[in-house]
Structure 1
Amino acid sequence: MATQIGQNTRYQPQDWFTNNYTISTNAERQRDASHQVRQEGRFLKNETDNQTKWDQYSNNVRLADRVDHIRKWKEILEKTLADLDKEIADLSEAKELTEISLEAKNLPTDVVLENLTLREGRQEIDVVIDEPEKQLHKEAEVIDGIKKQLQQRINESFEQLCLLQEARQQVQADLQDKNIALGIDIDQYNLSDKSPNISFKPDSLRVPKGSTTPQQWEDFSRYNKDRADAEMKASNNLREAIHHTLQQTDNDLEAQRIATEYALRKRIHEFERAKDELEWQKKNTEEEIAEMENDIRNLEEAIRDKINPMKLAQTRLENRTYRPNVELCRDAPQYGLTDEVKQLEATKRALEEKCNQAKHALDGLEKNLHRINDDLAKKNNSPMLDNRCMNIRQKLQTRPQTSIERNLTITGIEREKTKILA
């Protein structure tokens, strides 16, 4: 039986070597490419892990900073709210005191009207416009003016209370929003990638309507605080004005009451008071002049004391200009000496200006002292004349002597009796 050989394709040996080389080369290239992909994958994994880690850390820091910022403003607003509550209570108390004081002025009005009515019972020549009647009418005018002032303060207090309440509502609303935002941000800070309540959210990158910038957020809270501070300052000024008005009106009413009750002795009292005031002013003015002269001497000495330091600083600057070549640099001593010279010049100018102001004030004090001395001389003379007039008028109070008293005076018996008694 004959053997049949298949008709397979025949290749040359170099084709066989070429095929083997191609397979080997492709395998090495594929392994290199695979190795490169693996290395890049590992690098990308590490980079993305690190980026994710640091992004979470950075955002945690941002959230912590934000929480601290919100907490700081929360504390500020809480303090502002407490101050507002205290100011509202204080202003309400001042308003109540003003209302009580206004109601209390009804009694002086009734008293003045009753006094004027009783004085209408005078007859004939006694019905004169004398000093007590003038003072009673003046007292009625003072009381009416006081009532108007107190009513005005009450109206101003009511308006200011409304403004304080409005500011308080704004601060309280802002504080409530801060508490909600603080709770939300604290919850977000406490979240982690292992928290059970995290999930994918639809359109998480959207910007909610009504979002503000951090500057707008801070400006809003700052505006609320500044407005509250402004209203509290206005309220504080109003309370001071109310207490001043209460005290001033009480003083005015008391002064007018004293003037009404002591109308006949008013001028002497005013002269004595003016004299005492001038003597007190003279004493204080003389002491102030002595103090001012001493201060002027101190200022002049201080100006003289600045001469040598100025010479020293300028000499140092001038001598340092002779440094050779590159050594002539504007180093720290150069700037320091320049600042020292400028500071000394400014200090000297300020001292000279203050010394001139002190001399001007001293001149005013001396002129005022001269005027006080002139006025004091008049005040010393006027009460003396008034007292002499009062002494002369004492004769009107002397009762006439009887015949027996006249005879005793003539014979000297009264003098002997007085001597024995003495």
Structure 2
Amino acid sequence: MAKEVSMCTQLQQWSPVKETAGAPSVPPQVGYCFHSPKKHPWRPIMGYEEIEVTPMPSQPITNTMVDPCYTPSGMAAEPLRFPNLVTGFDRSPEHAARAALYTRYTQYEWNQNSIKNYNESDAKRNFSERVRNDIMRMLRETDEIGTQGQRDSGRRIGERITDTTFWRNEVSIEMERLVATCEKLNDTRRQLERAIAGIEGPLHIVQECLYHREKRQGLEQVHDAVEQSLLKEVAILRESQDKFRNMLEKGLQFYAGIERYDPTVCDTERWAAASAATLQRSQSERAKAVQMLSDAENLINVSATEIWDQWSNTNSAFTRRIAETIEIKNKLQLHLHKVQQEMFDVEKTLELLNKAIEDKLQPMRVAHTRLQARTARPHLEKCRDEAQHRLVKEVCDLQETMETLRSKIATAEGTHQTLLGVRAGLEADLRNKSTTLFIDRDQCMGLRRGYPVTAAIKA
């Protein structure tokens, strides 16, 4: 800070009296020295000059504080010694009397002081007029600058409003599209979740069909086309569930950031670039979401079509298998009827054979009786005549016939036992076929008649 300098006017006497050594030095002169224009023999020449006064502390100074022990702290120079106007200067009484006489002014000095005041008044008034003119000119300039600045500000604000309205409309349109896309994403997510849950019902039905088919008996537990189709259907259903879960885990979520702006944007170029970048980022994410929606919808349609086709193929396999089973069952029933008829015929034949053997017993007894009776003939009458040969031959023929009949009976009985085994096999096979028909036609197809594949996935 510049040193503060105060100007004051101090009367100085033009006295030949010299200052004593050690007295305070006179302050330096900063202006012109003025003195009395007229010299009087009865008084010395008096004058005044402008000097620089060193700032002193605000504490009042008295003569008692002139001593160094009373000097206030911080004073750069020795303190001034003020004269006592009552008792005179502290130097001598002569100085006090002389000072009281020299304080009066002349008429010339009084007139000069008035002229000085006039001149100073004119100068200050002219200066004030110049200041007022400068102020008025400055006011006109500031009014013009303010008006021009207001026009420019209004134009800039209008342009800013236009730009802001444009970007606001763009952001609003993009927000509407983004909200619609998010709603579609949520709908697709719910549809995938319903599809995953809806597949559980058909999968349970297919597993129930496989469980029921495990109850088939004997050779009916064949790995036929129906079982292959059911296993393939289980694989397709589980694969579809895995695809739907992967689609959900892939990220059917969209986090919008279009409504957030960078608070560090400080100029229009960066602001417009940030707005354009925000819109571009939103459009890019929305394009990804639209592609994901298309993939999800395509996956749902393809899976629904694949599951429906496999369900139809399985039903067709069931229908063909049921028809084959019914046909085979009918043939088995026909063969069983034939076997039973054959068994009935064999039984009739056995009855005829037994009756034939019984019928041959009476002739055999007659022939034996005749031969026994002919043994009673005397000596040479016991001749082996034709009658004897014929009776013997008759007995042999009857015995041979009876043996043949007995062998036929054994054969017929063996055949009958074989037919019994065949009938038992046919009956067991018919029971198995009936069980298979009940499982496939009543249990499995009964479950699959109300099998809403498309409704379960595309609900």
Sort the TM-score into its range (normalised by shorter chain).
0.3 to 0.5
Higher helix share: 1
Say which one has the larger Rg: 2
Q: Which has the higher contact order (CA 8 A, sep 6+)?
A: 1
Higher strand share: 2
TM-score w.r.t. length of structure 2: 0.39
